[in-house]
Amino acid sequence: ESTMVTIADLKKEAEAHVRYEKDKTTKIATVTFSRMDKHNTATIGMRARFGEIVHKANIDDDVKVLVIRGEGDNFGSGGDLNEHGDLYLNPKPGDGFLVDLEIDDPDVKYPPVGSYRYLHGLTDYYAKARSGNRPLQEFKKISIVEAKGYCYGWHFYVAGDADIVIASDDALFGHPSFRYAGWGPRMWNWLETVGLRAFSEMLFTGRPFTAQEMYTANRFVNSVVPRDQLETEVAKYAHACSITRPNDVVVAQKTFIEAYKQYRGEYFGSLLTGWLEGML
């Protein structure tokens, strides 16, 4: 009997850490990251579950607005690096990323350690919405991120991809890999959303930016409020979005915006990221 862990196992485990609820009356749905002992760091299963939720909400006629938030003091501090352990830097023969790629067929042979494809198979997959790393780019409804505390790494992707970002004044934005790897995924997109000067500073100094700095940096953040007013402010924006034009109009609007983003090279930047990371 196989003891192979599958993506289905990891998604099931992640149900406790990525909660989803929707109000059919208001058409406002909410994703809540809840892994507070780890600052809401995202596991493989959490990312896959998030991608699946966004995919379903995109079709669901009972959803018009998707609010994404974190339970506790932080939105989230990125992906759980411990989960991959030495698979990146010290892989052993037979290692691979089949689970991340949602492949549970034992007859599929993963590219060998030392090959370009060993890492690129994964990093290129991360450029796809299905992987859970950029699903909001393909989401044709309205997405609102409630940012507070740490908004790092993978959670910074989510904020960068959202339509609207509401932040508490104690929120910090950035990507730790600027310090330990030199590059971070989605840099192309952040040049667009943060702005060239501000993003260059974040990239080259490695320091996080405050909510107020992100508010003035190309208006990456739409509104900054004290922590005790954050949920009320998010609810105000969600309500305003929920009572305007119907879903069909929103989808048309979002298609227009997505076409603009692709004209500006959003997905092209993701593909370049996959190539660069695959080279390590």
- pLDDT at site 1: 44
User: Who has greater pLDDT, 2 or 210?
Assistant: 210
pLDDT category at 100 given cuts 50, 70, 90 is very high
Partners of 65 in the beta sheet? 28, 142
Q: Which helix (H) or strand (E) is 66 found in, with range? A: strand 65-70
Is the model's pLDDT at 146 over the cut of 70?
Answer: yes
**Residue 54: closest CA among 65, 45, 44, 41:** 65
The pair of three-digit structure tokens given for residue 53, joined into one six-digit string: 């939720």
- pLDDT at site 178: 87
- The answer to whether 161 touches 127, Cβ cutoff 8 Å, is no
Is the model's pLDDT at 198 over the cut of 60?
Answer: yes
- pLDDT at site 141: 98
- pLDDT at site 3: 65
Which residues have CB under 8 Å from 120's CB, separation 6+? 274, 275, 277, 278, 279
Share of the chain above pLDDT 70, in %: 98
Stated pTM of the model? 0.95
